[in-house]
């Protein structure tokens, strides 16, 4: 079985600026390098990873591409381009597409003061360029302000392959969870919208004692809506360190999907990632 971690980060605070990453984040306020992740991947039997941007900057993207070229277990990079500036976005896409590791992009939508940022005309225009070039879009679809925009994006750019990061962080409040279910179901109506089973450990009520039982209901619901063929595993390392470690995320996620068929597990743990990102593995 091919095992792919579709969502992990690296950052070197001495080389790239990450304004959102402040000392109050405690254990993740430090450098995280490939040498620290590699043995954890090996211990869990993970074959490949996809590095995902952690800052809206060329410096972050360039750093990821450099790491990818130096480590054979990195399959791809989800970088960044300025969606709000279509002309500049096109120029950078021309450049980044020369690199075989660049498969798509993400923007930290939740850091924008304008809650409707992602559905602006110029952003939609740039997303259309991604679709035309066969590139993907990772959506920071934070509930409720951003997840609701996914159906709009799917309608405006029907050929764009999108993936909702972290299942849009399912809320703990039951009333909010009902709304989350409705919005995820609406997003799943588009066949080009996928979702990542990632970052769920930091969406639990007890960061120290959470288990697969805390995340399984959200996973099960999304399997009903998307099917395993549109879901993929991600560790969200090193953010995952806030509520456990790499091994716990892998083990508890594996337990949460243990009752699925072998084909479904294969899809979530690697097959979906291979097809969505065009990894050719």
Sign of the Cα pseudo-torsion (136, 231, 263, 212, in order):
positive
Question: What average pLDDT does the segment 171-196 reach?
Answer: 97
Is 246 within 8 Å of 237 (Cβ atoms)?
A: yes
State percent of the chain over pLDDT 70: 100
pLDDT of residue 102: 98
| pLDDT of 142 above 90 | no
pLDDT of residue 258: 98
pLDDT in tens, 222-266: 999 999 999 999 999 999 999 999 999 999 999 999 999 999 999
| pLDDT of 143 above 90 | no
Q: What is the pTM of this model?
A: 0.97
pLDDT of residue 207: 97
Confidence band for 195, pLDDT divided at 50, 70 and 90: very high
Domain ranges of the chain: 4-276
Omega before 238 within 30 of 0, i.e. cis: yes
Class of domain 4-276: alpha beta
144 vs 167, more confident: 167
| pLDDT of 144 above 90 | no
H, E, C per residue of the chain:
CCCEEEEECCECCCCCCCCCCCHHHHHHCCCECHHHHHHHHHHHCCCEEEEECCCCCHHHHHHHHHHHHHCCCEEEEEECCCCCCHHHHHHHHHHHCCCCCEEEEECCHHHCCCCCHHHCHHHHHHHHHHHHCCCEEEECCCCCCCHHHHHHHHHHCCCCEEEEHHHHCCCCCHHHHHHHHHHHHHHHCCCCEEEEECCCHHHCCCCCCCCHHHHHHHHHHHHHHHCHHHEEECCCECHHHHHCCHHHHHHHHHHHCCCCCHHHHHHHHHHHHHHHCCCCC
pLDDT of residue 225: 98
Distances from the Cα of 62 to the Cα of 40, 57, 234, 249, angstroms: 24, 9, 22, 28
State percent of the chain over pLDDT 90: 98
């Amino acid at each position: 079985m091919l095992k792919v971690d579709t969502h992990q980060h690296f950052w070197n605070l001495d080389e790239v600026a990450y304004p959102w990453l402040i000392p109050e984040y405690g254990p993740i306020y430090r450098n995280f390098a490939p040498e620290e992740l590699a043995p954890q991947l090996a211990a869990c039997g993970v074959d490949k990873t996809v590095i995902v941007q952690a800052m809206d900057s060329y410096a972050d993207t360039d750093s990821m591409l450099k790491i990818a070229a130096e480590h054979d277990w990195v399959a791809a990079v989800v970088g960044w381009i300025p969606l709000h500036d279509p002309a500049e976005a096109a120029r950078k896409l021309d450049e980044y597409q020369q690199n075989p590791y660049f498969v798509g992009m993400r923007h930290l939508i939740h850091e924008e003061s304008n809650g409707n940022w992602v559905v602006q005309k110029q952003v939609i225009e740039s997303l259309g360029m991604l679709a035309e070039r066969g590139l993907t879009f990772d959506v920071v679809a934070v509930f409720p302000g951003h997840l609701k925009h996914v159906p709009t994006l799917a309608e405006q750019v029907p050929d764009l392959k999108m993936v909702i990061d972290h299942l849009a962080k399912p809320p703990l409040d039951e009333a909010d969870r009902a709304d989350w279910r409705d919005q995820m179901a609406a997003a799943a109506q588009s066949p080009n919208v996928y979702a990542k089973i990632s970052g769920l450990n930091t969406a639990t009520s007890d960061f120290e004692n959470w288990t697969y039982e805390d995340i399984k209901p959200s996973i099960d619901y999304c399997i009903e809506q998307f099917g395993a063929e549109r879901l993929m595993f991600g560790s969200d390392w090193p953010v995952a360190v806030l509520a456990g470690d790499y091994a716990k995320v892998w083990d508890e996620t594996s337990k949460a999907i243990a009752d699925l068929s072998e084909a479904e597990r294969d899809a979530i743990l690697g097959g979906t990632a291979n097809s969505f990102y065009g990894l050719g593995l």
